[in-house]
Amino acid sequence: MRYIAIFLLLANIGYFSWLRYNVEPSLPYVADTASPLLNRGLVLVTEYQEQLADQSRFSCFNVTGFNTFDSAASFVAELDESWLDATLRLTGDPLESHYRIYLPPSSSRGIATIALDALSDSLVAAEMEIETYLITRGVLENGIALGVFAELDNARDVQAKVVGLGYSPEIEEIPRTTGEIQVQLQALESALVENFEWLDLAADRSDLSFTENLCETIAQGTQFP
């Protein structure tokens, strides 16, 4: 009996020693960090469409007061189309178009002047009476005009003569109407507020009238994913 008691004592001592020196140390508890919700949580379809509508509100303007089709086309060309859409519109009843012959614009005023002098000398040498002048503004600035004709056949006849001198004149159709010439503008409201070019554009055109009107088309938001 004595030996059994001694054995149990030694066994308990060995067991507690094993527990103390062989159990893996416990790691400190670290609370999980909350992750943010994707897309700021759930959004109702109606709320999403309202947000799109707030960001996609357009302002539309009708610009009038242009004396010629060229002046309206030049005005459109001056606009920065990256933030503003412009459409040229003719009102009233259409009239027969006129046709302009011209040499495409040169890279600078100096080069255009030299080209005009050379063309004039060629016309004199060929005994051709064609009025020429330098275009100083508008879409065709630094180009050379060779006249405006009411008949397309007459324009083509002059074009053929100038081609025979080694040049490449082009013919441009000029639409005409009994009504006024208008330019319709459309831009995001946020772009109008942030873009100083719009303020300069309206201020520098005292001869034109800018009238805000309802947009004919309404931009539609993208489909909810």
**Could you list the residue range(s) of the whole structural domain that residue 135 is in?**
95-177
Q: Confidence band (pLDDT; 50, 70, 90) for 205?
A: confident
The reply to whether 146 and 191 lie within a common domain is: no
Same domain, 73 and 121: no
143 lies in the same domain as 208: no
* Tokens found for residue 65: 């007061």
Q: Which residue has the tokens 């397309």?
A: 152
pLDDT of residue 181: 93
Q: What is the dihedral of CA 191, 89, 68, 209, to 10 degrees?
A: -50
Mean pLDDT of the chain: 77
Three-state SS for 127? coil
Instruction: Specify if 148 maps to a domain.
Output: yes
The reported pLDDT for the residue numbered 126 is: 93
Same-domain pairing of 99 and 170: yes
What is the pLDDT confidence band of residue 52, given thresholds at 50, 70 and 90?
A: very low
| pLDDT classification of 101: cutoffs 50, 70, 90 | very high
DSSP E strands: which ranges in the chain?
58-64, 85-90, 94-103, 133-134, 144-149, 170-177, 181-188, 209-213
CATH of the domain at 111: 3.30.70.1070
Instruction: Note the pLDDT of residue 68.
Output: 87
pLDDT in tens, 160-193: 999 999 999 999 999 999 999 999 988 887 777 6
In the chain, % of residues over pLDDT 70: 65
pLDDT of res. 81: 65
Nearest 5°: the CA angle 45, 46, 48 is: 65
| Per-residue model confidence as pLDDT tens digits over 36-45 | 444 444 555 5
Assessment of whether the complete model's pTM goes beyond 0.75: no
Whether 29 is in a domain gets the answer: no
Report if residue 8 sits inside a domain.
no
Residues 108 and 165 grouped into a single domain: yes
**Confidence category of residue 203, pLDDT binned at 50, 70, 90:** confident
Residues 112 and 165 in one domain: yes
Q: What is the pLDDT of residue 36?
A: 47
Q: Tell me: do 85 and 186 sit in the same domain.
A: yes
Assigned domain for 75 exists: yes
In the chain, the N- to C-terminal Cα span, in Å, equals 82
Q: Which residue has the higher pLDDT, 103 or 200?
A: 103
Whole-number Å distance between alpha carbons of 91 and 182: 8
Instruction: Judge if 103 and 173 occupy the same domain.
Output: yes
Say how many domains are in the chain. 2
- Residue 141, domain member (yes or no): yes
List, for residues 3-29, the tens digit of each pLDDT value. Answer: 555 555 555 566 555 555 554 444 454
For residue 35, tell me if it sits in a domain.
no
Query: 103 with 155, same domain?
Result: yes
143 and 99 belong to one structural domain: yes
Q: What is the CATH number of the domain that holds 198?
A: 3.30.70
Lowest mean pLDDT among 19-33, 74-88, 205-219: 19-33
CA distance 153 to 103: 18
- As a whole number of angstroms, the distance between CA 100 and CA 156 comes to 10
**pLDDT of the residue at 139:** 86
Question: Does any domain span residue 127?
Answer: yes
- Residue 32, pLDDT above cutoff 60: no
Flag whether 111 is in a domain.
yes
Together in a domain, 82 and 184: yes
User: Is 152 in the same domain as 85?
Assistant: no
pLDDT in tens, 119-153: 999 999 999 999 999 999 888 999 999 999 999 99
- When pLDDT is cut at 50, 70 and 90, the band that residue 80 belongs to is low
